Amino acid sequence: MPGVGHVIPHTPLAIDFWYVRKCPGTRLFFLSHMHSDHTMGLTSTWSNRPIYCSPTTARLLRLKLQVKEKWIHPLEVGEPSLLPLDDIGKERLTVTLIDANHCPGAVMFLFEGYFGSILYTGDFRYSPSMLREPCLRANTTIDVLYLDTTNCDPNRTLPSRQQATQQIKEIIRGYPNHDVVIGLYTLGKETLLVELAIEFQTWIEVTFERIETLKVLELPDVFTTDRGAGRIRVVNRSGVCRAAVDKWNQEQPTLAILPTSRPLVSLHPMHVVPYSDHSSYQELEEFVFALKPTSLVPIVGNCVPGSLSALIPGKKRHEILVPQSVQRYMLRESESLLRSTAYTRHYYRHVRPLSPKGVVFEQESAEGEMDTENSENDSDCILVTCENDSDCILGLETWETSALSRQSLGHGIDQDGNIMSDDNNSQHTGKENDQHITDCMSNSPKNDSGSSSGSLPELNGEYLNKLENSIIKDLPFAEEDFKNWGLLPRSFVQQFPLCPLKDPDEDDL
């Protein structure tokens, strides 16, 4: 499951996206909040890249994921912050964090820079007060709105959280002799718990793990880990099921309450209450109508209802010119990744000279910004430009050594590096090909021992050189072409082997 994060095209920015090798040009990482679908891929081993988030999220990040302190950069909510977008202090962005009204520490990000204005809501529950935020009031145009579309169904209405809280209170009042179990995720809805504690004058019983989180949040002192100390107990959401409820009722009459916007059926003693920390469709409409963004990107899923899209004025977004200093900034990170140990285990294919475009990056697709799925599919693509006032952009794609060998040999390259015809190739069975691949990889004569090729041998350098030379001979362009055009530095050509472009429709062998 890839999570719900996004890499912002034409920028070195990513939000809630932690697969660094899939976005090598990204330099600044932002975390909207600590729900697990937004931290997927983020671990205690995170290094070399700053993570920007709210102060509360920063504390939770240390506690829950043990991310090293030096990489966590909390930013004050509501105050614009300037962050560098290059190494020379020329290009900067302004980012302002806005309370997302979702869970503790959750924020929206407003980014302003050479790319225009981008508002990334993360998960949020709309409140009219958001539109009164100085940064949103001052901005007349949001170029791209990344919108939390969790509840984006025009056919569903949701009560406000105040109304849902009242519903929960009514249910509990109806069963004065019952204990109450509330199923929650590890973070969120703490305000509801505090309100219930005050209303029913009871401790809220929680696990040791949860109370560690609650301590960080500095909430009113209504929580305890003492079993039996209070009438209301919190358990993990996944722990509320029919069997568990039956078991609890064998010991003591117990109500189970699930505060969630998911369309589940209530069946006494399990009560599902539509208490949601995500905006309802009607709230999203109000938000989009007020902001009138130039374009809209759903954070959850791939599409938005037509009725919501219709609220967008239909203005054309201006072309984005990525400053050269920013391109170099992104490229430097890409190069350092390529040189890292992990990357030296990969080889490169798809060297594809494109039409010279100066410093203008490729236009957005008709669908708008890159979504998570697309970023997955294109995730190994990196943009490469030349060091000196370059006019070229190359797309490189990495692949595993095993894929290289299969691909190359599938095109028909024998052990001596000669290109074979498809006819020759077709004489081999799949099994024979596998053996052939193994032999070529080890660059040794047929292995008389007949040992298994269960583990892939290292590619032999000499064989690789032969392989590359044979492939380069067949390319429709030569290294000389690049040099003549001034498109590619010699060091680059020497560093990265060139391989032919693979037809995307072609089946892998």
- Amino acid of residue 341: T
> Tokens for 403?
């894929």
Strand order in the sheet with 232-236: 223-224, 204-205, 232-236, 179-184, 254-259, 270-273
Least Cβ distance, residue 124 to Zn ion (angstroms): 9
Q: Is-contact 361 416, C-beta < 8 A?
A: no
Q: Which stretch binds Zn ion (CB under 5 A): 122-130, 249-257, 368-376, 420-428?
A: 122-130
Does 112 interact with Zn ion (rule: CB under 5 A)? no
Residue that has been written with the tokens 């990344």 in this structure: 146
Hey, which residues does 383 pair with through a beta bridge? 395
Count of residues interacting with Zn ion (CB under 5 A): 2
Least Cβ distance, residue 107 to Zn ion (angstroms): 11
Q: Which stretch binds Zn ion (CB under 5 A): 16-24, 118-126, 293-301, 388-396?
A: 118-126
By C-beta, is 123 or 285 nearer to Zn ion? Answer: 123
Q: Is-contact 330 84, C-beta < 8 A?
A: no
Does 123 interact with Zn ion (rule: CB under 5 A)? yes
- Amino acid of residue 266: S
By C-beta, is 36 or 252 nearer to Zn ion? Answer: 36
Q: Which stretch binds Zn ion (CB under 5 A): 35-43, 235-243, 346-354, 433-441?
A: 35-43
Least Cβ distance, residue 178 to Zn ion (angstroms): 30
By C-beta, is 27 or 189 nearer to Zn ion? Answer: 189
Does 35 interact with Zn ion (rule: CB under 5 A)? yes
Does 278 interact with Zn ion (rule: CB under 5 A)? no
Q: Which stretch binds Zn ion (CB under 5 A): 72-80, 115-123, 175-183, 253-261?
A: 115-123
By C-beta, is 35 or 271 nearer to Zn ion? Answer: 35
The bridge status of strand 394-399 relative to strand 347-353 is: antiparallel
Q: Which stretch binds Zn ion (CB under 5 A): 33-41, 165-173, 212-220, 466-474?
A: 33-41
CA distances from 452 to 74, 402, 432 (A): 53, 16, 13
By C-beta, is 123 or 371 nearer to Zn ion? Answer: 123
Q: Residue 227, Cβ neighbours under 10 Å: how many?
A: 8
By C-beta, is 35 or 59 nearer to Zn ion? Answer: 35
Torsion of CA 83, 86, 90, 95, to 10 degrees: -20
- Range 261-276 burial, b when 16+ CB lie within 10 A, else e: beeeeeeebbbbbbbb
Hey, which residues does 259 pair with through a beta bridge? 273
Does 64 interact with Zn ion (rule: CB under 5 A)? no
Q: Which stretch binds Zn ion (CB under 5 A): 27-35, 226-234, 240-248, 494-502?
A: 27-35
| Concatenated DSSP letters of 460-488 | PHHHHHHHHHHHHHTSSS-HHHHHHHT-S
Least Cβ distance, residue 102 to Zn ion (angstroms): 6
Least Cβ distance, residue 283 to Zn ion (angstroms): 16
By C-beta, is 123 or 333 nearer to Zn ion? Answer: 123
Q: Which residues bind Zn ion (CB under 5 A)?
A: 35, 123
